[in-house]
Chains A and B, each alone.
Chain A
Amino acid sequence: MRALTWQGVHDVRVETVPDPEIVNPRDAILRVTSTAICGSDLHLYDGVIPMVKPGDVLGHEFMGEVVDTGPGSTLKKGQRVVVPFTISCGNCFFCEKELYSACDNSNPADKQDMSEMLYGYAVSGLFGYSHLTGGYPGGQAEYVRVPFSDVGPVVIPDGLEDDKVLFLSDILPTGWMAAENAAIEPGDVVAVWGCGPVGLFAIQSARLMGAETVIGIDHHPHRLELASQLGAETIDFRQTDVREALREMTGGIGPDAVIDAVGMEAHGLAADNLIDRIKQGVGVGADRGHALRQAIMAVRKGGRVSVPGVYGGFMDTFPLGALMEKGIEVRTGQTHVQRYTYDLLRRIGEGEIDTTFLISHHLPLEEAAEGYRNFKTKQDEWTKVVLRPH
């Protein structure tokens, strides 16, 4: 089959690799019909996530048609399914508590050593996202093997086309959980750093959860325009002093909740970020955390900080004093996708949520490398790339 493979920093190529087959009883094989490039794929593309090997197949946002099933799968051939990017067994202590991205049993035993060393305990397996999270071949391919297919995949009813439901795989639940982690109350002001896909879906979700005002922060005019279309007020950090603006826009109180939808590769010309950038450049596992630092400083006393943005290592000059002295609550984590899929599918079906506005480009799989390049360098116009492998 053809698949998008990682070869090195800023070097991804579509190559011919062996077709996957059923390996474990609960597996299913999908013929991928749609797969998207995620903002977090750019962390792999930029080489800031460790343990990616040349030849690894990327992609963790995908859906397709079931073409083969193991004896333990509950799926049937011909069904259309969307697959969560988190691989979860459904049997362990963590899955039972709906902490699906903390699944104990989906990250292969020989792959857990590094994440145990980095984080204390091993995290779950993820599709196409380095050997830290299992080294599972991803879905930017013609076919993909889906482990524990009786737990994750969501069967899509006829009549809902791919573009409407594809984002159930990651970014819609991720934006939704980001807003949920912000513990929004009626009348709240919520500020969102980053108006990329997750930030925009967090804005949309925060509005649905009753936030009175949502403020989107970015520097790409088109992304700010999309935020504005979703009902958000906006701040362009290239033109405006963000903390000063947030204070003034909230009557001197500060936002009740802040959401960092940027993660480890924050932009910005502040001194802290320049130092982070140098450290990240020499590969010492440093996260670039300008957005998170600013969010912690900006949030009101006793406010909530929600972090859907991806971090993988360590951060210096973390404003721990502000966190403690203001009594801030922080909630974060890889998304527990399976917790949200059915509720969000219903909301999509009823027309309450429409995510198709985000898609700027459809490309055949063969042009995936072009998609990565443009998603990286032309973030303003290339808001979301959906690949069609067949």
Chain B
Amino acid sequence: MSVDQEPRDLPGADQPNGRGKTAALAALALGIGGYVAAAVALSRRRESARASMHDSAPGRTARRARFGGYSVVGRTVTIRKPRQELYDYWRDFANLPRFMESVKEVAVEGDLTRWTIAAPAGRTVSVETRIVEDRPGELIAWRSTEGSDIDTEGRVHFKDARGGRGTEVEAIIAYKPPAGELGRLIATLFQSEPALQGRRELKRLKMLMETGEIATSRNHRERTEGDTP
């Protein structure tokens, strides 16, 4: 059974304990332990989802990197721009390939988005997502649909940074590759350096938003094949 068949109320950033627990129990009842674990990791504050964790660090910074069947990566970057402007840029998904190097194409159809992601050996992986939560200027959360190659859910959260430093943009993604050959391919794509991709992408977004361009040491405009590390 895939996560897609589970209830859509992913425990949110600022949800009280009760609702997170309800979601976790519902998932348990359906026999999806991985979902619970992923939900814990996705939570911004551990205590909001699990009272036994007693520091205020985000769940994904826990020393373990896997939560049930899910791997979770996340990163926060502070960008000197108002959060509405950053939200608007991100919400227009056609903008994302500008700073996400592995995303080759984004096609939006109604509330569904189809992503074409570059994988090793010249192959591509296709992911279809549905927006599960959308709070203008604040949060976008999505989940993969059943037809996707990857079982994934994620969110990007925009909040005012302390000291007038702009906006803290936090992106968190949980994913579970399927079994079989495709699964192994996806595992190679993501697990060689799980957090690396997301980290670089957020940095590129920051560069683009703050400076209007993405820094490069290339001396020539043409992009050569295989130049991306």
> Residue A24 at the B interface, CB < 8 A?
yes
B182 within 8 A of A: no
Closest chain-A Cβ to B77's Cβ sits at a distance in Å of 9
Instruction: Tell whether A104 pairs with B219 under 8 Å between CB atoms, given A26-B212, A91-B211.
Output: no
**Contact yes or no, A91 B210, CB < 8 A:** yes
Q: B interface vs A, CB < 8 Å?
A: 78, 80, 165-166, 196, 199-201, 203-204, 206-207, 210-221, 228-229
Shortest distance from the beta carbon of B63 to any chain A beta carbon, whole Å: 18
Instruction: Please indicate the chain B residues that have their CB under 8 angstroms from the CB of A87 in the complex.
Output: 215
Interface residues in chain A, defined as those with a beta carbon under 8 Å from any beta carbon in chain B = 18, 20-26, 72, 87, 89-93, 96, 104-113, 125, 131, 134-137, 145, 147-148
Query: Told that A21-B221, A25-B212, A131-B217 touch, could you supply 4 new A-B pairs with CB distance under 8 A?
Result: A92-B211, A107-B215, A108-B216, A135-B217
CB<8 Å pairs between A and B, sample of 13: A23-B220, A24-B214, A26-B213, A87-B215, A92-B210, A105-B211, A108-B214, A109-B200, A110-B228, A111-B217, A113-B200, A135-B217, A148-B211
* Given the contacts A105-B211, A109-B203, A92 and B219 also touching, CB distance less than 8 Å: no
The 10 closest A-B pairs by CB, nearest first: A20-B219, A109-B203, A109-B200, A24-B213, A135-B217, A89-B211, A91-B210, A105-B207, A136-B217, A108-B215
Which residues of chain A are within 8 angstroms of B80 by Cβ–Cβ distance? Answer: 91-93, 96
A137 to B216, CA, bound (A): 11
Q: In the complex, A21→B219 CA distance in Å?
A: 6
> CB-nearest residue of chain A relative to B208?
A105
Q: Which residues of B contact A112 (CB under 8 A)?
A: 200, 203
Assess the A104–B206 pair: CB atoms within 8 A.
yes
> Of the candidates B166, B204, B210, which one forms a contact with A109 in the assembled complex, judged by CB atoms under 8 Å apart?
B204
A89 proximity list for chain B (CB < 8 A): 207, 210-211, 215
Which residues of A have CB within 8 Å of B206?
A: 104-105
**With A93-B78, A93-B165 given, is the CB distance from A105 to B210 under 8 Å?**
yes
> Once the chains bind, are A18 and B220 in contact (CB under 8 Å)?
yes
Q: Check B210 against A23 for contact (C-beta < 8 Å).
A: no
Q: How far is the CA of A21 from the CA of B221 in the complex (A)?
A: 7
Docked complex Cα distance between A25 and B199 (Å) = 24
- Contact between B210 and A125 (Cβ–Cβ < 8 Å)? no
The minimal Cβ–Cβ distance linking A119 to chain B, given in whole angstroms, is 15
Q: How far is the CA of A91 from the CA of B201 in the complex (A)?
A: 19
Q: For B210, list chain A residues within 8 Å (CB).
A: 89, 91-92, 104-105
| Closest residue on chain A to residue B77 by CB atoms | A104
For B201, the chain A residues whose CB sits under 8 A away are 109
State whether B212 touches A72 (Cβ < 8 A). yes
Beyond A110-B228, A113-B196, whether A137 also contacts B219 by CB under 8 A is: yes
CB distance from B184 to the nearest CB of A (A): 25
